[in-house]
């Protein structure tokens, strides 16, 4: 089985519960016997997944120094939509998409996946270049959301935005320099929220393909928010207006 290594309790428990057949084997710290580990071992037993107790140093080496929490797993890469059309054609009447224009921090992407899952987004879309992929760190931070939210990378983001518009999806960009505030625009119906990269924001061509630009009003002293926090506010605004 060709695959990748994932680590952390949330990521592995989610894979055990939702896609157990994709797990080749689970590696656990042989010295850890706490309730959390016992629960994971019981879940693995119920799913007939092989568990291999190993030395903590070996786990450290497998995870490349990342915080593995005493558990890792070798898993197959899950089949996912390969093209935006797969999402656009199969999602029903109201789409909710999150477009990330060049997010490079794996912790930010992992947090965006969690937000997207919580708000019921149909997919996250990002450029293939200048953006982080689904690394083990992303999967761990996502706490299972990497299993449920399609993450699609595209060669040409501007062209993809035009394709999304062909499906009558409104493109709304979050831009701190915009004149309109987020609560003043109609964010119902099928919507794709576009957020820029850490620090640099959206690229010019991406901004030009947005139907509208909005800003989130700031009432404190900081000038900006983390991209995952912005994603949560934007996606929730659509959910709030739809309700």
pLDDT digits (tens, 9 = 90+) for 165-218: 988 899 999 998 899 999 999 999 899 999 998 777 889 999 999 999 999 998
pLDDT in tens, 89-127: 665 568 899 999 989 999 999 999 999 999 999 999 999
Q: What is the total residue count of the chain?
A: 243
Tokens of 66: 């990342």
pLDDT tier for residue 19 given thresholds of 50, 70 and 90: confident
Could you identify the residue written with the tokens 């501007």?
158
Tokens of 10: 């949330």
What number is the average pLDDT over the span 221-229?
Answer: 86
Q: How many CB atoms lie within 10 A of CB 53?
A: 12
Pairing of strands 212-215, 170-174: parallel
pLDDT at 1: 44
Query: How large is the angle between the packed helices 106-118 and 227-242, nearest 10 degrees?
Result: 10
Could you identify the residue written with the tokens 């957020």?
195
CATH numbers and ranges of domains, the chain: 3-76 (3.30.1330.30), 84-242 (3.40.1280.10)
Query: Is 0.85 surpassed by the pTM of this model?
Result: no
Longest dimension (CA), the chain: 57
69 dihedral zone (left: phi>0; alpha: psi -120 to 50; beta) = left
């Amino acid at each position: 089985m060709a695959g990748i290594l994932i680590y952390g309790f949330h990521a592995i428990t989610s894979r055990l519960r939702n896609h157990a057949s994709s797990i080749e084997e689970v590696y656990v710290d042989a010295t850890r016997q706490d309730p959390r580990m016992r629960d994971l071992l019981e879940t693995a037993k119920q799913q007939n997944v092989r568990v291999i107790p190993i030395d903590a140093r070996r786990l450290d080496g497998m995870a490349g120094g990342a915080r593995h929490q005493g558990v890792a797993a070798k898993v197959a890469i899950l089949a996912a939509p390969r093209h935006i059309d797969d999402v656009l054609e199969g999602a029903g009447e109201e789409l909710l998409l999150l477009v990330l224009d060049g997010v490079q921090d794996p912790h930010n992407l992992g947090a965006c996946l969690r937000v997207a899952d919580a708000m019921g987004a149909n997919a996250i879309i990002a450029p293939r270049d200048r953006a982080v992929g689904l690394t083990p760190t992303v999967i761990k931070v996502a706490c299972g959301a990497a299993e449920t939210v399609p993450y699609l990378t595209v060669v040409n983001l501007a062209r993809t935005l035009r394709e999304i518009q062909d499906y009558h999806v409104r493109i709304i960009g979050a831009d701190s320099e915009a004149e309109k505030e987020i609560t003043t625009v109609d964010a119902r119906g099928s919507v794709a929220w576009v957020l820029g990269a850490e620090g640099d924001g959206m690229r010019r061509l991406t901004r030009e393909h947005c139907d509208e630009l909005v800003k989130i009003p700031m009432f404190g002293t900081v000038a900006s928010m983390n991209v995952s926090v912005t994603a949560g506010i934007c996606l929730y605004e659509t959910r709030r207006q739809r309700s």
